[in-house]
Amino acid sequence: NATAIIQRYPFIVYTNLEERLIKLSKKFNNYASIFSSFPQIILFDIDNVLNKFSMAGFNNPTDLLSRVPQIAGIDIEAKIKTLKELGFSDPIKLITSYPRIAYRDIPKIVETMKSLGFRDPIVLIEKIPNIIDANFEDMIRSLEEAGFTDVIRLIEKDSNGSLLFNYRKIESIIENLRRLGFENPLRLIERYPELTTKNLERVIQNLIESGFSDPIRIISIFPQISGINIFRVLDSFKRIGFRNPIRVIEKYPSVMGLSERNILFKIRLFEKIFRKLNFGYSPLDIFEEKPILLGLNTFRLLFFLRMVIFYGGDKQDFYSLVKHNPFLVFFIVLNNQIDNIENLRYLAYKYTNSLSKSIRDKYIQETKDNLDSIIGQLKDRQNNPFLIKLAMTLKRLV
């Protein structure tokens, strides 16, 4: 190896090699591999280089140079300035995470990405730094040939660069998804590009072993499950108190994206709200029966809960009404004589399903725009505290 290095870099024989290697060894445990990968390192005053990076703001220059010794020859201050001018929020963090950023022509790469149609190359590079090494033309062509129509948006949606490593074998990945039983592999990957890196055979097997009857359906609805430990989720749901965690997930697979802490907080909160409003049900039972409610905004749930209790409804009425847009339902209450819960449910269904979308959107936007004025008028009248509470709850959703 030494002979090969000398043959490639003959200038080494004219340096005080031993002395410089000793000095290098005092700074880096892996000095031999550093020298092998970048022999020019011995031409630098390593103390000055490390000091230069420290002064530029790097917390651990030694680690940075041990990983990528070539960075020693970079004018790091000029590079940081260029990255800031381009719009990068934290050039030092970016270079630390992916040092090749420091010696690539980033302005040219950004311009290339813009010309290809990427909306915000800066954000994309910050999210996936190694995308600067991508062969964009080859990547786009491979994905288009596989059947994807909006390749740029697909790449932008990829949160961890999965497609960078898998686009050359994308057709075999799609074929494997079909073989496993997925009807629309392209749509599945568009929704969750990270799926291309997952061992789906193992995921399916784990779901079967856990007791799920239709793993393909679960993954199709919530492909993020491919990156979740299902055994841990089931244990968590049991601790929460769900009697049948598998059934909860089968009803609403996206519930797996919620943390145990988040679910417990919502259950405890609604235990207090149910008691205060005299709603004679268990929030745990309601969330287990309709787990989709766990994914809804807390104030949306409270809005409909107040309404159902005021009009004498039960949990079935709650399930029925909460599906509607709360601003549209509030518009209905303000502009109609509501005598009972059945009347409200009927009008909510009628407005949602009989009116055109443009009319519904008009009523919804009017309610949002005029909400402050409506609250002021209701307070001035001081004759309907129920509507005031509804409006104040709704304001938290604007």
**What is the pLDDT at residue 329?**
97
Q: Give the mean pLDDT per block of 10 residues along the chain (398 residues).
A: 54 62 80 78 84 93 89 91 96 94 93 95 94 92 94 91 89 95 95 93 96 95 94 96 96 94 95 93 96 95 95 96 97 95 96 96 96 92 87 94
Q: Is 304 exposed, middle or buried (0-12, 13-18, 19+ CB in 10 A)?
A: buried
**Helix or strand (DSSP H, E) at 179:** helix 170-180
Question: What is the 8-class DSSP label of residue 89?
Answer: S
User: Is this prediction's pTM over 0.85?
Assistant: no
Q: At what angle do helices 298-310 and 260-277 cross, to 10 degrees?
A: 20
| Long-range pairs for 265-269: beta carbons < 8 A, 24 or more residues apart | 266/294, 266/298, 267/240, 267/241, 269/298
**What is the pLDDT at residue 39?**
77
- Per-residue DSSP letters for 38-69? -GGGGGS-HHHHHHHHHHHT-S-HHHHHHH-G
Strands (E), 229-346: none
Q: How many CB atoms lie within 10 A of CB 229?
A: 11
**Phi, psi (5° rounding) for residue 194?**
-60, -15
Largest CA distance in the chain: 98
For residue 17, the one-letter residue type is L
SS3 of the chain: helix, strand, coil, percent, to 5: 75, 0, 25
Q: How far apart are CA 9 and CA 169, in angstroms?
A: 39
| Total number of residues shown for the chain | 398
Q: Is 239 exposed, middle or buried (0-12, 13-18, 19+ CB in 10 A)?
A: exposed
Q: How far apart are CA 135 and CA 158, in angstroms?
A: 16
**What is the pLDDT at residue 53?**
92
For residues 116 and 136, the answer to whether their CB atoms sit within 8 Å is yes
**What is the pLDDT at residue 9?**
55
- Residue 200, both tokens: 């789906």
Output Rg (C-alpha) for the chain, integer angstroms.
30
